[in-house]
Amino acid sequence: MSPASQNTIARPVRFRGPGVHTGIAAGLKIAPAEAERGIVFVRADLPDRPEIPAVVDRVSGTSRGTSLGPEGAGVKTVEHLLAALSGLEIDNAVIGMDGPELPMGDGSARPFVELIREAGIRRLASPRRFRRLGRPVALETPDGLIAALPAGRLRIACAVAFGDPLLDAQYRDLTLDPEVFARELAPARTFGFYREALPLFRQGLIKGTSLDNTVVIGPGAVYSRGGLRFPDECVRHKMLDLLGDLALLGSPLRATVVAIKPGHRLNIDFVRKLKEALDGSEQSN
Ligand SMILES: [Zn+2]
């Protein structure tokens, strides 16, 4: 398969399960789409079937996950599916949803990778439109830092530090292609600190959280089904989230991305800044 052609999936595939925040079970159907369509969500359960393109302009929330579209007619927790589509180089697909939140699966992108591989990948006649930087773009906030540097391939280097005796600093650096993504990032699951769980429940969040979809850190031990999938599963999951958020650029990025303590809010603010820089430089070229 030529990496220079846009891709879609070969046939529709379906997946169902509860969302991690709302606890509401929803079904999704990933369907093939024509070139230049991009990734588009459709709330198939609502009148007029509103469409929500997976682009940063449509981000409506970054609290514990990335949400798109208006409250009540949007989609929540899109990042793991977007990471799977981006990681496997799917440029165009229509994601039909019959509920407000993406199914959480096992907390990683692996179920979506398996689904897309089950569907198969179809090459389209149009070229992929890579976004390339002319100069570095960086965003630093009190929470962390993300910088993108000009490069010919997508590479993500990420550092996290939580100051917890069970989870302190982790660092990972990967140059991504579909194989590397599927093997090194897709299996990394969502994680959370037990000490943070109660306030989140009180805010009405994480209603669907369980050990089936989340690695729980503390008290006293790391709790996860079947043990950790990688010793540094947490930093890998942060990279997975970042890849999913970067997909909201709407086109594949070719850059070296360096992230220190990324999170959805920082990721999305960074993607906005990156898009501005890319759009600006293309206009002046
Ligand atoms: Zn995540």
* 144 & 123 share domain: no
- In this prediction the pTM is 0.96
Same domain, 107 and 165: no
Helix axes 264-284, 233-246, angle to 10 degrees: 40
Q: How far apart are CA 259 and CA 138, in angstroms?
A: 10
Residue 202: its H or E element: helix 194-202
pLDDT tens, N- to C-terminus, the chain (285 residues): 445 899 999 999 999 999 998 899 999 999 999 999 999 999 999 999 999 999 999 999 998 899 999 999 999 999 999 999 999 999 999 999 999 999 999 999 999 999 999 999 999 999 999 999 999 999 999 999 999 999 999 999 999 999 888 888 999 999 999 999 999 999 999 999 988 888 887 887 788 888 899 999 988 899 998 999 999 999 999 999 999 999 999 999 999 999 999 999 999 999 999 999 999 886 544
pLDDT at position 2 is 47
Provide the residue range defining the domain that includes 207: 131-284
- To the query of whether residue 237 is one of the catalytic residues in this protein, the response is no
What CATH number corresponds to the domain at position 269? Answer: 3.30.1700.10
Q: Work out the angle between the directed axes of helices 79-87 and 110-119 (0-180°, nearest 10).
A: 50
- How many A from CA of 206 to the centre of ligand 1? 12
What span, in angstroms and rounded, lies between the C-alpha atoms of 142 and 131? 28
Are 64 and 100 part of one and the same domain? yes
158 CA → ligand 1 middle, Å:
14
The verdict on 140 and 252 lying in the same domain is yes
Distance 126 CA to ligand 1 centre (A): 31
Shared-domain flag, residues 234 and 188: yes
Q: Which of 21, 80, 237, 264 is catalytic?
A: 264
Per-residue pLDDT, 285: 44
CA 182/CA 9 separation, integer angstroms: 16
Instruction: Count how many residues are written for the chain.
Output: 285
| Distance from C-alpha of 99 to C-alpha of 47, rounded to nearest angstrom | 13
Count: domains in the chain: 2
